[in-house]
Structure 1
């Protein structure tokens, strides 16, 4: 019976190490990087156990057209503070896309904001 317990324990440890390695890989390797411009509409800290900053930005291409929304997550408190000050203003978000993050404790979306640039208002046409 003790050989079974030892083997089973080693199997569980191996699974935990593989899961941790996969999680680390998905959080450090980015599938894509880019910028999105728009107006920050919402930013809130959400979660029962793991609190993450989750936000929504309105992407406006031309006046009078449908507004597309960009959902994003923020892992850095200083960026979250800057975004909170920018709600309702036009900004450019620098982001990384991380595919395959196994649990929502790290973020609810695959887009992680890594920087914020303030830009002037778009002049009316």
Structure 2
């Protein structure tokens, strides 16, 4: 009887931190710290990761002529969005993103900026 209670208490002691960690992950992934848009040219998009595969990319931000270009590093978790971005490589695009702070590992992406949509700008004129 004593061993059974020890096993029950041990199980509860293990499940509480795991449950808190899962709750923290859910909160970090579902609440957006900030959101916005960036315009420029996608320079690179590649699939990365050993276990958790994400798409990591670079957007060259368009600025004033004669100034040094700035890079915006981003993560794409949705394969359909990654395909749309690959179709617009070399074109001027608008990336719509959400920033999620506090993610505990790089398994969710190398950056905190998660692109949710892409819109080509060259063909709108």
Provide the TM-score with structure 1 as the length reference. 0.91
CA distance in 2, matches of 1:51, 1:88: 24
Structure 2 equivalent of residue 99 of structure 1: 101
**Mapping for residues 1-40 of structure 1, pairs under 5 Å:** 2=3, 3-40=5-42
Q: Aligned runs of 1:62-101 on 2, under 5 Å?
A: 62-101=64-103
**Where does the alignment leave 5 or more consecutive residues of structure 2 unmatched?**
none
Distance 1:72 1:9 in 2: 39
- Structure that is richer in helix per residue: 2
Moved over 6 A (4+): none
The 2-side partners of 1:52 and 1:73 are apart by 7
Alignment partner of 1:54 out of 53, 56, 60: 56
- CA–CA distance in 2 between the matches of 1:78 and 1:47? 18
Structure 1, unpaired ranges of 5+: none
- Counting matched residue pairs gives 121
CA-CA distance at 1:62 after TM superposition: 1.3
Distance in 1 (alpha carbons) for counterparts of 2:18 and 2:106: 17
Find the aligned partners of 1:77 and 1:14 in 2 and give their Cα distance. 34
Computed over aligned residues only, the root mean square deviation of the Cα atoms, in angstroms, reads 1.4
Paired residue secondary structure (1:105): helix
Match of 2:111 among 102, 109, 117: 109
- 8 Å Cα contact 1:90/1:118 also seen in 2: yes
**Post-superposition CA distance 1:34-66 (Å, at most 9, x none):** 000010000000001111111111112112211
